[in-house]
Amino acid sequence: MTTATTSPAETEQAPPGARKRSPLAALGGQNLSLIGALVVVLGLFGALNENYLSLSNLQVIAEAATITGLLAVVQTVVIICGGLDISVGSQVGVASVVSAMVFTGTGSSAFVGVLAAVGAGVLVGVLNGLVIVYGRVNPTIATLAGLAAYKGLAQLLSDGRAQGYVLNDPVFVFLGRGKIAGLPVMVWILIVVAIAVHVMLGYTDIGRNLYAIGGNDTAARLAGININKYLVAVYALIGVVAAVAGILLTARTGSGQPVSGSEGLELKAITAAALGGCALKGGKGGVGGTLLAVALLGALENGLTVEGINTFWQNVAQGVLLVAAVVIQQRRNGERAVGLPH
Amino acid sequence: MTTPGTPPPTQATPGVGVAVENVTKRFGAVQALSGVTLAFRPGQVTALMGENGAGKSTLLKILTGDHQPTEGRVLLAGAPVSFASPHDARRAGIRIIPQEPEIIPHVSVAENVYAGSLPRTTGRRLDRAELRRRITSDLARLGFEKVIDPDQLGSELTPAQRQLVEILRALTGDAKIIAFDEPTSSLAENEAEALFALIDRLRAQGIAIIYVSHRMKEIFRLADRIAVLRDGSSAGVLDATETTESEVVRMMVGRDLSSFFVRQDVARDDVVLELDGVTTDDVTDISLRIRAGEVVALAGLMGAGRSELGLALAGDRPLRSGRIALNGRPLRLRGPKDAIRAGIGLAPEERKAQALFLHRSIRDNTSLVSLERLRRMRFVRRGRERAAAQDFSDRLRVRTPSIEHEVRKLSGGNQQKVVLARWLLRRPKVLILDEPTRGIDIGARAEIYRIIADLARDGVALLVISSELPEVLGLADRIVVMQGGRVTGELGRAEATEEAILHLAMADDLAPLDPARAAARPRTDSAPGGPR
């Protein structure tokens, strides 16, 4: 054969693309388009309404986006490892009610109220994880069930009404209204959580393993990663962060809210993660893109409100954005349009 | 024996029949077929043989419109055709019976057969009377009334009946060419005999039949002609009545790979890995020993349980009974992590599906199982990680401009080197390599053989699972042959020949087949972790 005479020297081409990366390219195309969209939205509404870009309105946008942002950050984590959690909104409701009711029940102890809410969050999150991993229930279905069940739980606990009054307590007032260095405390909490999650994803072996699980679970398993443990822990983390969001909701509104204020948050969180570049199949995504998408969604929502556009349209806009984000993603992956998508 | 290129298929196939002429198919850097010319004539069974990776599947896919040839053309009844899709090929009368039948579980056999072209009444409702008439006449025509009930549900069918559904599907409409891809791999012997009788009948009806199989006995039972592919080229076409098994084997193997293998005797006396009566769901009573620096090859046909044994040693399949010991200490493997910690590594059979994270960098893929050693607190020490990944990437000569490149952009050979780099960085005591050179070009192959030799010199105990006999013969100090989940024999380097290995690998084929074992086929993979 002819191959016998040629030495086993490699003839294939080295893959192209060894260029030095410019700082702009390092940011990523996805993030650049998000920044572009954000500039367009801010510019558009700023031109339509002079108050839109005022400091006080920007602060309103930031505060309104905080709870969504917290949920979107943890949604990013679960999507990276190939799962999904659509029960986050209901979890916020449970935590909000628990924090207010325990606060009232223990004679105005904010500390115990906060602790109880976080405990409830852990329980609910671990339950989600166990049902998914050991019950072998698809994450979408399992957390869809959670969406209904936890909402019902919050309503049962609270009898369907707002519970307690917390704004006589300095801790809650500080969480809901306080400022540090000119920025609302709520926004600081989001910043801290986002940085912590970003560091975990990018700089620790935990993050590597999460990306591995979402990228190829068989390979992750054979590489000795305890997938079950990681998945349960991720859902528990969601429970904790959702509880923090619930506590902030209580602090902002002054009382425990079973449904109002938390309904529909799952849609916002998932939309933000998808717009931010998370592959819904798992293995790809990051906190930076998600936060940009949260800012974009927040700016858009506020702009539409300021312009007096019917809030029903905002729901339509959100649905459209979610579908558009995924369609673009699938196009980039070169998915063949045959049958149900994977 | 004829040489490729002669005689021209256009002359050889008047009337119906299909031929490929100078067909070449490239996938990126991989040349799957080069200049293949073959004719499949009506009323004849042409067996298509070749080692794994010789190009049989690619050729079938070109005939059925799944792939388009890079060069060359397909001739149908002497006229060139170009199939844009499997649908086109089907309309032209070309059918393939896939290895794993696609059966819709919750509908009847009759609806399974006619799925996609169900008869219906004017009101667009299913015309059950017409469907029944058609399926009854099909079954009568083929003589299968007693074998399968048209009202049975897809989920209730035996492997043979499932195959039959695919055959019935293939025969609807006007089939001129039917290709069978290893049809007997899931059949018991009596079922296989029924299939052969059917193929005889189809041949008598003037259908051109392409029959892909590794089983010599079947080939000589059925085939009129035997076409042999080797490394993507046609090695020749033999008349089945005038040839012998050993001539076919010689033609399949053909090339002289021996120059690529590094002959050395570095095995030491200390036994590293010791299996004693290891039994899992897929393998039974496996006992073997591997010494430091020894290369043991695990040979056998596909489905012999070799990969499953590899997975069991990597901690991914629970032991039913038996014992695994490493350096004399018994191991209890509750999962892959235990195996990795103990010093056992596995480069699995399907590197893309089971080993690689295609969207992550070479660095990430290399360091993954060694992160425990590359971290402080839980933080990955990036500098060390990068240095280690770069070092092994260089040593294994991974062709890439940077270790930050995504692994999916690499060629198969370089991807395999990344998998090896992952384990080299971990420094295992035992390394299991499952089909380490599958789908890899000859140059990268030689490099992988060199890496294996280096590992042996460093005292690693190596278990190489391979379906390629020249590779098995060239690499191994000792060859263990498996079939049906059991070890059927062991050969030392001196006594090992391809014939001896094949004989042991097909031992059961020669003896009467145990139908119970054929029915209880090993199930594949139910992964823990998140369902999706």
Position B514 confidence tier, pLDDT thresholds 50, 70, 90: very low
pLDDT: which is higher, B324 or A28: B324
Asked if A216 lies within 8 A of B357 by C-beta distance, the reply is: yes
d(CA B231, CA B439): 10
For residue B397, the chain A residues in CB contact (below 8 A) are 10
Amino acid type, A17: G
Q: How far is A229 from chain B (nearest CA, A)?
A: 9
**Residue B257 confidence (pLDDT):** 53
Write down the pLDDT at residue A11: 35
Rounded CA gap, A147 and A143, in Å?
Answer: 6
CATH number of the domain encompassing residue A87: 1.10.3470
Q: Does residue A314 fall inside a structural domain?
A: no
For helices A287-306 and A55-80, the axis angle rounded to 10 degrees is 140
| CA B86 – CA B66 distance, rounded (Å) | 5
Contacts of A18 in chain B (CB under 8 A): 401-402
Secondary structure of B79-113 in HEC code, one letter for each residue: EEECCCCHHHHHHCCEEEECCCCCCCCCCEHHHHH
Torsion of CA B370, B372, B377, B382, to 10 degrees: 0
Q: How far is A46 from chain B (nearest CA, A)?
A: 40
pLDDT at A84: 95
Q: Which two tokens stand for residue B185?
A: 């791999």
Higher per-residue pLDDT: A242 or B60: A242
* Chain A residues closer than 8 Å to B341 by CB: 224
Paired sense of beta strands B233-239 and B225-230, if any: antiparallel
pLDDT band at B187 (very low <50, low <70, confident <90, very high): confident
Q: Residue with structure tokens 């299968």? A: B144
pLDDT of residue B262: 67
Question: A262, A89 in Cβ contact below 8 A?
Answer: yes
Residues of B in Cβ contact (< 8 Å) with A81 = 530
The alpha helices in B407-460, defined as continuous H runs, are: 412-426, 442-457
Mutate to test the interface with A, among B346, B368, B449 (most CBs of A within 10 A): B368
Taking residues B428-438, what's their average pLDDT?
A: 92
Q: How confident is the model at residue B532 (pLDDT cuts 50, 70, 90)?
A: very low
B400 and A14 within 8 Å at the Cβ level: the answer is yes
Predicted model pTM: 0.74
Contact assignment for B445 to A8 by CB distance below 8 Å: yes
Q: Is residue A237 included in any domain, yes or no?
A: yes
Q: With H, G, I as helix, E, B as strand and everything else as coil, classify residue B50.
A: coil
Q: Does some domain include residue A341?
A: no
* Residues B380, A223: C-beta atoms closer than 8 Å: no
Give the closest-approach CA distance of B80 to chain A in angstroms.
28
pLDDT given for residue B205 in this prediction: 85
Superfamily of domain B258-519: P-loop containing nucleotide triphosphate hydrolases (3.40.50.300)
Q: Is residue A14 part of a domain?
A: no
Chain A residues within 8 A of B353 when measuring between CB atoms: 216, 218-219
Whole-number pLDDT of residue B380: 92
Q: Is the C-alpha dihedral spanning B145, B163, B504, B58 positive or negative?
A: positive
| Total tally of structural domains belonging to chain A | 1
Kindly indicate the confidence band of residue B300, based on its pLDDT and cuts at 50, 70 and 90.
confident
Q: Looking at per-residue confidence, does B295 or B17 come out higher? A: B295
* pLDDT surpassing 60 at residue B5: no
Contact B400 A15 (CB under 8 A): yes
Select from A114, A119, A87, A91 the least CA-distant residue to A102: A114
Q: Helices in A81-109 by DSSP H: which ranges? A: 88-105
CB contact (8 A) between residue A11 and residue B409: no
Distance from CA of B451 to the nearest CA of A (A): 14
CA distance B527 to B532: 11
Buried b (16+ CB within 10 A) or exposed e, B148-159: bebeebbeebeb
3-state helix, strand, coil in chain A (%, to 5): 70, 0, 25
Residue B354: which of A213, A215, A222 has the nearest Cβ? A222
Q: Is the pLDDT of residue B278 over 90?
A: yes
**What's the gap in Å between the CA of A285 and the closest CA on chain B?**
11
Averaged pLDDT for residues B395-422: 89
pLDDT one digit per residue (tens) for chain A, 342 residues: 333 333 333 333 333 433 445 656 666 677 888 899 999 999 999 999 888 999 889 988 998 899 999 999 999 999 999 999 999 999 999 999 999 999 988 887 889 999 999 999 999 999 999 999 999 999 999 999 999 999 999 999 999 888 888 888 999 999 998 999 888 999 999 999 999 999 999 999 999 999 999 999 999 999 999 999 999 999 999 999 999 999 999 999 989 998 888 888 999 999 999 999 888 888 889 999 999 999 999 999 899 888 888 888 888 888 898 898 888 888 877 777 777 776
Tokens of B353: 């599906």
CA atoms within 13 A on the CB side of B68: 7
Listed range (B259-273, B295-309, B356-370, B393-407) with the worst mean pLDDT: B259-273
- Residue B433 pLDDT: 96
Least Cα distance to B228 among B31, B500, B46, B42 occurs for B46
Per CB-CB distance under 8 Å, the chain A contacts of B358 are: 215-216
Q: Pick from A15, A83, A215: which is nearest to B359 by CB?
A: A215
Among B255, B355, B368, the residue with its CB nearest the CB of A1 is: B255
User: Any residues with CB less than 8 A from the CB of B9 and at least 6 apart, and which?
Assistant: B19, B20, B21, B37, B38, B39, B75
Q: How close A20 gets to chain B, by Cα (Å)? A: 11
Q: What is the pLDDT of residue B515?
A: 42
Query: Which of A3, A205, A215 lies nearest to residue B442, judging by beta carbons?
Result: A3
Q: Do B531 and A139 touch (CB under 8 A)?
A: yes
Whether residue A120 is contained in a domain is answered as: yes
* Higher per-residue confidence, B348 vs B216: B348
- pLDDT band at residue B211 under the 50/70/90 scheme: very high
Tens of pLDDT, residue by residue over B258-269, are 556 766 777 788
Task: Look at A146 and B520; give whichever has higher pLDDT.
Answer: A146
Asked whether the predicted pLDDT for residue B192 surpasses 50, the reply is yes
Average pLDDT over residues B299-321: 91
Range in A98-112, B151-165, B335-349, B458-472 with the lowest mean pLDDT: B151-165
How many other CB atoms are there within 10 angstroms of residue A11's CB atom? 10
- Judge: A14–B401 Cβ closer than 8 Å, yes or no: yes
- Which residue shows structure tokens 């590794």? B214
The mean pLDDT value for B144-165 works out to: 82
> Which whole number is the average pLDDT over B156-170?
83
Host H or E run for residue B19: strand B18-27
- CB pairs A-B closer than 8 Å: 150
Environment class of residue B247 by beta-carbon count within 10 Å: exposed (0-12), middle (13-18) or buried (19+)?
Answer: middle
Residue of B nearest to A234 (CA): B530
- Considering the domain boundaries, does residue A35 fall inside one? no
Check whether B183 has a pLDDT greater than 70: yes
Going by DSSP bridges, is the β-strand pair A179-180/B233-239 parallel, antiparallel, or unpaired?
Answer: unpaired
Model confidence at B507, in pLDDT bands (50, 70, 90)? low
For residues B184 and B163, the answer to whether their CB atoms sit within 8 Å is no
Contacts of B231 in chain A (CB under 8 A): 1
Contact B372 A212 (CB under 8 A): no
Q: Cβ of B532 and A138 within 8 Å?
A: yes
The predicted pLDDT at position B480 comes to: 95
User: What Cα–Cα distance (Å) separates residue B127 from each residue in B74, B105, B423?
Assistant: 38, 21, 60
pLDDT digits (tens, 9 = 90+) for B87-122: 888 888 898 888 778 888 888 988 888 887 788 877
**CATH number of this structure's domain B16-103+174-253:** 3.40.50.300
DSSP secondary structure string for all residues of B470-490 = HHHHHH-SEEEEEETTEEEEE
Residue-averaged pLDDT of chain B: 83
Question: Is the separation of the CB atoms in A68 and A89 below 8 Å?
Answer: no
Give the separation between CA B459 and CA B410, rounded to whole angstroms. Answer: 30
Determine if the peptide bond prior to B98 is cis (ω within 30°).
no
Task: Tell me which residue of B529, B515, B531, B528 sits closest to B186, measured CA to CA.
Answer: B515
Q: How far is A203 from chain B (nearest CA, A)?
A: 6
* Domain assignment of residue A11, yes or no: no
Q: The domain containing residue A135 runs over which residues?
A: 52-304
Please answer yes or no on whether A213 and B256 come within 8 Å at the CB atom: no
